[in-house]
Structure 1
Amino acid sequence: MTAMVEQLVVGIDGSPASAAAAEWAGREASMRGAAVRMLNVWRAPTSNVQFSPGPEGLRMWEETRAFDAARQVEQDHPEVVATAEQVPGAPVQALVEAAGGSAMLVLGSRGAGALAGYVYGSVGLQVVARCDRPVVLVRQPDAGPGEEGAEVVLCVDLGRPCDALMTFAFEEAAARGAVLRVLHVWDLHRKYGYAVPAFSPQLKHQLHREKAEELSSLLEPYRAGFDGVRVVEDLAEGSVTDGLVTTASAAGLLVVGRRRRRTPLGVRIGAVTHAVVHHAPCPVAVIAHD
């Protein structure tokens, strides 16, 4: 019986950001032995703005971009099977549904501090917040460092370990032959408040040692399961968001988690993940977990 080949789904809308996402997905598929599905979600314009070309011309243009992206991936990576498809509907729902049976959903974003394409405004954030599969957000080529040979950085919360998050990061590092840097950032002020007396150097050293032991214990079973992956354990004190963005400045991929939760105001992705999605200079993988 032939094993099923995993598939990466890429949101294509014709923007340079989505072209960067397609290029990244081609390299990822080549490393994983996966296939790529380029997906354009078409929804006719509803405003009174006069398009040139008209809506049908715009639809055909977006469809052509998806097929062009698939051809480019197969040209760059002959071992990868890439297909293209245009479907009608609401982008958020269509992208989330398409990702359901895939290894990951890949979307493009314009760069630090600004989003474009499928990651523009509420669409991309709603996809990230609703998708149960990993979502990778890829910067335009000139917005961040290349990932060839660069580290995979995994952000972990020692108080809420997550197997899906850990496994994804180890698998990525193994596929790339890259170093996996596992980072835990601890913020004393966030935990104990700003009104507490200053911590002595001795107490800080003790807390650091305890967290280092906890991190090593957390990683032990994954090191055994991925013995070919070189792991660097990293602890930092300060702002979690600042620590992640700084560490990711030279990374090939930053892996963060998103807790599945709904609030009376709708779905959320968490303050740290939201900030990282906007400001990290490298591709960001967001992994949903309970």
Structure 2
Amino acid sequence: MWSPVVAGVDGSAESLAAAEWAAHEAVRRGRVLRLLHARSWHPRQDEAEFAHAGERHLARRLLREAEERVLAACPDVPLYDEQVEGPVTAALVKAADDADPLVLGSRGLGRITGLLVGSVALGVVAKATRPVVLVRADTAGQEEEAAGTGRRDVVLGVDVTEPCDEVLAFAYEAARLRHARLRVLHAWRAPDPLTLGPGEIGLVGEPQRAEEWLGFLSAVLQVWRDKYPEVEVLQTVVEGKPSGALLKAASGAELLVVGHRLTDRPRMPRTGPVTHAMIQQAGCPVAVVPHY
């Protein structure tokens, strides 16, 4: 049985935008949409029954609001809703195990303080072992725009020294489903003379280095060109920091796809610096694909 597309719902504008995005994705993939509200409550023993009923009523109202938003955008999407008890982050991480993908609302950077808002979404991304898509409220309506003549790219960030099949497969499939062009970007940095190893040549000019990196990227993508011949691909290599290059490339994109390396080390899960920057600053939906 195919996994559903799952959207986390909490009543915020971001979660409603995520539910709408997830509905379009479910239609594209031919999947069922699961609207999920995770509630975390800790009432006193003498208030337990009353508080529990109140939480269920609120969750039902939030889910109904999300259903109305979804059906207005995608009247034919098959869907069902569900309430689960928290902790919220743990409940959503568990939901991600059976999702394809899990879609959550993200506020990105606060407009006044510049501080990251949305610790639940960030915590889920850090711990989930399946893809998670983060959607901002100000991207609402982009699905309809992309369905018209103004179709936009799917952007993929790739490190050609450590390419990952899971990330590449997600991006190619996303582009195929949308009939969109896939823009694959690798950012490289010129070698520091102080860090060159024995026998390494540091006098090669920038055009030659760029051409060499483009060759590496082309080699990485060759097998995927064979698997997805219908997907138009634009290969790009730029000199500079990956985060800055990706943010520029993703401006106006339909979807940005980045990887998140998982680890078995017994420490607090966290995202890498590039993925973290994309979650905070990218103006389009961001798909974070975990891999080892």
| TM value normalised by structure 2 | 0.85
Report the Cα offset of residue 239 of structure 1: 1.6
Counterpart Cα distance in 2 of 1:19 and 1:11: 9
Percent pairwise identity: 42
Q: In the alignment, what sits opposite 1:24?
A: 21
Where does 1:175-190 land on structure 2 (aligned, <5 Å)? 175-188=177-190
Letter of the aligned partner of 2:125 in structure 1? V
SS at match of 1:150: coil
Is 2:283 the partner of 1:286? no
Counterpart Cα distance in 2 of 1:166 and 1:219: 9
List alignment gaps of at least 5 residues for structure 1.
48-53
Where does 1:228-267 land on structure 2 (aligned, <5 Å)? 228-261=230-263, 265-267=267-269
Report the Cα offset of residue 46 of structure 1: 6.7
Counterpart Cα distance in 1 of 2:273 and 2:32: 33
SS at match of 2:205: helix
SS at match of 1:250: coil
Does structure 2 retain, via aligned residues, the 8 Å contact 1:187–1:240?
A: no
Counterpart Cα distance in 2 of 1:144 and 1:23: 9
Report the Cα offset of residue 122 of structure 1: 3.0
Q: In the alignment, what sits opposite 1:98?
A: 95
Letter of the aligned partner of 1:68 in structure 2? E
Report the Cα offset of residue 249 of structure 1: 0.9
Task: Compute the RMSD of aligned alpha carbons.
Answer: 2.6
Cα deviation per residue 1:215-261 (whole Å; 9 max; x = unaligned)?
11111110111111000001111121111111111101000000002
Letter of the aligned partner of 2:18 in structure 1? A
Report the Cα offset of residue 6 of structure 1: 3.4
CA gap 1:143/1:25 in 2 versus in 1, 3 angstroms: closer
CA gap 1:61/1:276 in 2 versus in 1, 3 angstroms: same
List alignment gaps of at least 5 residues for structure 2.
45-50, 197-201
Does structure 1 retain, via aligned residues, the 8 Å contact 2:153–2:183?
A: yes
Counterpart Cα distance in 2 of 1:37 and 1:134: 15
Does structure 1 retain, via aligned residues, the 8 Å contact 2:157–2:258?
A: yes
Cα deviation per residue 1:124-150 (whole Å; 9 max; x = unaligned)?
211101101100000113689666111
CA gap 1:102/1:95 in 2 versus in 1, 3 angstroms: same
**Higher mean displacement: 238-247 or 171-180:** 238-247
Q: In the alignment, what sits opposite 1:50?
A: none
Does structure 1 retain, via aligned residues, the 8 Å contact 2:17–2:135?
A: yes
Is 2:87 the partner of 1:85? no
Report the Cα offset of residue 86 of structure 1: 1.1
Does structure 1 retain, via aligned residues, the 8 Å contact 2:16–2:69?
A: no
Does structure 2 retain, via aligned residues, the 8 Å contact 1:187–1:238?
A: yes
Q: In the alignment, what sits opposite 1:226?
A: 228
Counterpart Cα distance in 1 of 2:194 and 2:106: 36
1:167 to 156, 166, 169: 169
Report the Cα offset of residue 78 of structure 1: 3.2
Letter of the aligned partner of 1:280 in structure 2? A
**Higher mean displacement: 56-65 or 220-229:** 56-65
SS at match of 1:192: coil
SS at match of 1:267: coil
Is 2:123 the partner of 1:110? no
1:141 to 138, 147, 168: 138
Report the Cα offset of residue 274 of structure 1: 0.6
SS at match of 2:251: helix
Report the Cα offset of residue 57 of structure 1: 4.0
SS at match of 1:34: coil
Does structure 2 retain, via aligned residues, the 8 Å contact 1:71–1:82?
A: no
The aligned length equals 273
Counterpart Cα distance in 2 of 1:250 and 1:72: 24
Q: In the alignment, what sits opposite 2:192?
A: 192
Does structure 1 retain, via aligned residues, the 8 Å contact 2:39–2:55?
A: no
